[in-house]
Structure 1
């Protein structure tokens, strides 16, 4: 797209999920500033082992991210065979569905609205009363999905499949904070509420939160993958670009269109 060459766009999503966005930016002549504000670490926890053991009893298995799939299949190598034939699987988003397919299973449900709320909307038309539902995820995630399913009468088992936390090495994030303040970046993107909150927390620790919020209000363009991700930004009265489809590609396309106007 013309008018983008040399522009600098910051990416804050976890390192292992970064490549797609980097490729799209570089294909359009945009310089990516890679600064993960969120670090993921898959883990074999007691709750994940318990979920593996109860796999034959599950009526539903729900994956909310590719990382949950990676961890579940790593630590429960026979998961595919342990699931009973009647167990149905739901995922949030096509990327998670793709990871599931690569592990030999198919998603029965992929909501058009790639959010917990979008998935719950579909479950309103499904009888889950008394049904056993397993959700391997990070415990840092919002409780909208499990609580919503419990309200429908489901027996929900959460399993900690990975941890979401602040990056151990803060060098890249500190560079991003400095670049936001000095105006060296043209835009910054966020793909989850934690990528936003962690940036604000790290900036707060260095006394720079007010400065980066001001930069995002006054000149640096801000894009969020969806309305849920945008909430902590909007709470600071930061203008946010949100695509109609909640994908990285759609978010960047929305940003590009705004940057060349």
Structure 2
């Protein structure tokens, strides 16, 4: 039996190599397609009562800049973000049960009235969190820690999907879904690429990328309960093998 061919989309900052190695160890043939490159802005969040970080990339950017949360209540979306923050030597105070912007708003809603909240995220972050926290009475600032750019050569997975040669795909953010679609559009194969994905096993690490995929006509087969890449990869590979 041949190994299932599974595309993985992670930023081109070392995580794409780790993801490919994991897929290989699970018995899949990895197709690493780094849909995003990270461009730090050299900005850091202002002093605030609460600081919200949404990715391990953001943690790494701030740690490299020598930033620390000080006396702020440090809030992290997702276990991987919290683990990165703790590895940086910071104390994590809040991790919402639901690993997305709506989950963070629900976690903080009752505590931020009249407080300052600093959001430190990428340039592609949604408006859900700032709007929700402002509705809860918070004074919200937004800092763009890094910009996400799509590499010009990010198209192998779209080509394979269009030819029906992918068995699985693992999307880790809404931006990676958008990057895949943009790559396919640029090649003039978007319709065929989406059709190819719909013959494969498509996994999304959380509801946000899953919803972006569904809106584009992509059927999402796997959304793990825990927003963890290894959990996602295992689920996609196991289903693709069946």
TM over 0.5: yes
Matched, 1:259 2:240: yes
Deviation at 1:90, TM superposition (A): 0.4
Q: CA deviation at 1:194?
A: 0.7
Q: Which residue of 2 aligns with 1:21?
A: 19
Aligned partner of 1:204 in structure 2 is 185
Alignment partner of 2:108 out of 123, 126, 131: 123
| Counterparts of residues 148-159 of structure 1 (less than 5 Å) | 148-159=132-143
2:142 equivalent to 1:161: no
User: Is 2:167 the counterpart of 1:186?
Assistant: yes
Q: Write the mapping of 1:1-261 to structure 2, written as runs, cut at 5 A.
A: 6-16=3-13, 17-45=15-43, 48=44, 51=45, 54-55=46-47, 58-75=48-65, 77=66, 79-80=67-68, 83=70, 85=71, 87-124=72-109, 126-167=110-151, 169-170=152-153, 173-217=154-198, 219-240=199-220, 241-261=222-242
Distance in 2 (CA, whole Å) between partners of 1:8 and 1:164 is: 26
Give the number of equivalent residue pairs.
240
Native 8 Å contact 1:129 1:152 kept in 2: yes
Once residues 139 and 148 of structure 1 are traced to their aligned partners in structure 2, the CA distance between those partners, rounded to angstroms, is: 18
TM-score (norm 1): 0.85
Gaps of 5+ in 1: none
Secondary structure at 1:114's aligned position in 2?
Answer: coil
Structure 2: runs of 5+ lacking an equivalent:
none
The alpha-carbon deviation at position 93 of structure 1 amounts to 0.8
Residue 232 of structure 1, CA deviation = 2.2
Q: Secondary structure at the match of 2:75?
A: strand
Deviation at 1:202, TM superposition (A): 2.0
Secondary structure of the 1:161 match is strand
Secondary structure (helix, strand or coil) at the match of 1:15 reads coil
- The secondary structure found in structure 2 opposite 1:160 is strand
Q: CA offsets, 1:181-219, max 9 Å, x none? A: 2222211110111101111112112211011011112x2
- Helix, strand or coil: the match of 1:158? strand
Deviation at 1:6, TM superposition (A): 1.8
Write out per-residue CA displacement over residues 141-191 of structure 1, whole angstroms, 9 at most, x where no aligned residue: 111111111111111111111001212x41xx2222221122222111101
Q: CA RMSD in A?
A: 1.8
Cα–Cα, structure 1 residues 29 and 236, in superposed 2: closer, same or farther, change >3 Å? same
Tell me, in whole angstroms, the C-alpha distance in 1 between the residues paired with 2:240 and 2:61. Answer: 38
**Bigger radius of gyration:** 1
Distance 2:237 2:106 in 1: 31
> Following TM superposition, by how much is the alpha carbon of 1:23 offset from its aligned partner in structure 2, in angstroms?
2.9
CA contact (8 A) 1:43 1:71 kept: no
Equivalents in 2 of 1:119, 1:252: separation in Å?
25
